[in-house]
Structure 1
Amino acid sequence: MNLALFDLDKTLISDDSASLWLHWLVSQGYTPRDSLHTHLKHMHAVSHYSDSPPDPAVITSYLALTLAPMSGYHCSTVSGWVERFVHRDILPRLYPQARQQIAWHKERGDSIALVSASGEHLVKTVARRLGIEHVFALQAEVNDSPLCFTGNTLGELTFHQGSVRRIESWLAHPSTPAFKQTYAYSDSIYDLPLLEFVDKPSVVNGCRALREVAALQGWPELNWSRHPVRAAVTS
């Protein structure tokens, strides 16, 4: 059995799920429109790729913006929001080639995981809708009683080296099967540690910095589109 690790934002889907989520919350009246301006200011440091990743404090602040509107809401309430959001704003942005690549791995009997810096409340729902069994994503803090979001994060961020550390911890657990080969798919230079960690990395719609690395390393470069002329599955 092999393991396939897929980045979510701008790899499986054509946009950023955390940004889409905040826009959805604004459209539904759950958070003020001013939050978008603050979000976009913080997002610039994250989405405009450089040779080194942003300071973790910037990432934490950026992600906190997407969690703040849920603070005080019961998990079941937010779950209903997420179901509607994923149906309306995430699944239509899924690349057809992404579906095919996931299906290719399933046909081979591979385990599949989504790896994302977006919140688990979003990523787990997307994974379930795509039939993906494992998720490595931002952990949102929840009060024990009642089960309400606090707006805070928990544990290590699933970002840059943090993604690899979380996956290594999972792989070292006795209940995790031993995988023959590992695959990874991402668009972002910030996922370079993840791509270097696996046996078979692939760059999907890569940013300039990641395309340069791929060219030097001889990694496959995939161009996925929401409206492809002809979709192709790669092995």
Structure 2
Amino acid sequence: MKLALFDLDHTLLPIDSDYSWGVFSQDIGWTDPVVFKRRNDEFFEHYKAGTLDIHDYVRFAVQAVRERGPQEAEKAHRLFMETVIRPALREPALELVQRHREQGDQLVIVTATNEFVTRPIAKAFGVDELIAVELERDAGGWITGEIAGIPSAREGKVQRVAQWLAARGLDWDGVESTFYTDSINDLALMEQVDHPVATNPDARLRAVAQARGWRILDLFDKT
């Protein structure tokens, strides 16, 4: 199997979908515009620095969704897709995914953003296989604010992809793997795959890629 793995935020998208969802939820009046923005910005800086406590962040990020309930949340996400995500889809990213599809590769998006935000985005790229932060569900099937299982962040991405492979009777030696990402947070998975591609890389990942002779791909300018 040829396996094409894609990070999402700032890799296939020129924006951070998690942060953008936070801004969107603030804009539609779900959160306090001052308090939420301050905390959202703080968490984003921790993410960029590689110091994010993902459990704390997910509790914060999904609190408004959890409180609003599934029907309101689904309606809001449809509006989010229309007004924020679809305008951010870029042809170079869509074409990259399509090239791998045409080559017969198995496509998987591997993201540290939670499943609620990202599953419809993966569908917009035509990718059915999504490895995202899975959200714990209560007896009624609605999210609790906690993470279920291993979060797909940093070294957790390697573990989650390994689980995905094992569920299909495969392991790393049984696939030829390529991974596209922008972030130094994904260094562990970059080191695991056969073909790491630093895509729209941040300064630290660009330096590592240059030092190790990894391919560097600039699909678009970040926003």
- Do the structures match in fold with TM over 0.5? yes
Structure 2 distance, partners of 1:45, 1:180, is 33
Q: Shift of the alpha carbon at 1:114?
A: 0.9
Distance 2:169 2:32 in 1: 44
Find the residue that maps to 2:4 and give its secondary structure: strand
The one-character-per-residue Cα deviations of 1:118-173 (angstroms, maximum 9, x if unpaired) are 1101111111121102111111222222x332222222111111000011111112
2:96 to 101, 105, 108: 101
Helix, strand or coil at the partner of 1:54:
coil
Q: What are the residue-to-residue correspondences of 1:176-215 with 2, within 5 Å?
A: 180-215=175-210
Deviation at 1:63?
Answer: 2.6
Alignment partner of 1:124 out of 98, 111, 119: 119
Structure 2 distance, partners of 1:162, 1:73, is 29
Fraction of identical pairs, as percent: 28
**Closer/same/farther in 2, CA of residues 75 and 176 from structure 1, 3 Å limit:** farther
Match of 2:39 in 1: 38
Aligned to 1:10: 10
Could you tell me the TM-score, scaled by structure 2's length? Answer: 0.91
Aligned residue identity for 1:54: T
Q: Does structure 1 conserve the Cα–Cα contact (< 8 Å) formed by 2:198 and 2:209?
A: yes
Alignment partner of 1:28 is 2:22 = no
TM-score, L = length of structure 1: 0.86
Opposite residue 186 of structure 1, the aligned amino acid is T
Q: Which runs of 5+ in 2 are unaligned?
A: none
**Which ranges in structure 1 are unaligned for 5 or more consecutive residues?**
228-235
Aligned to 2:213: 218
Deviation at 1:83, TM superposition (A): 2.0
Contact between 2:55 and 2:146, CA under 8 Å: does it hold in 1? no
**Deviating 4+ runs (over 6 angstroms):** none
CA deviations over 1:160-204 (Å, ceiling 9, x no partner): 110000111111124569964111000001101111111111111
C-alpha separation between the residues in 1 aligned to 2:153 and 2:159? 10
Moved more, 157-166 or 93-102: 93-102
- Which one has the bigger helix percentage? 2
* DSSP 3-state at the match of 1:135: strand
1:91-122 Cα shifts (integer Å, max 9, x gaps) = 22223211111000110111111111111011
Q: What's 2:75 paired with?
A: 80
Shift of 1:59: 2.5
Q: In structure 2, what residue type is equivalent to 1:150?
A: T
Kept in 2, the 8 Å contact 1:202–1:221? The answer is yes
User: 2-side partners of 1:172 and 1:206: how far apart?
Assistant: 29
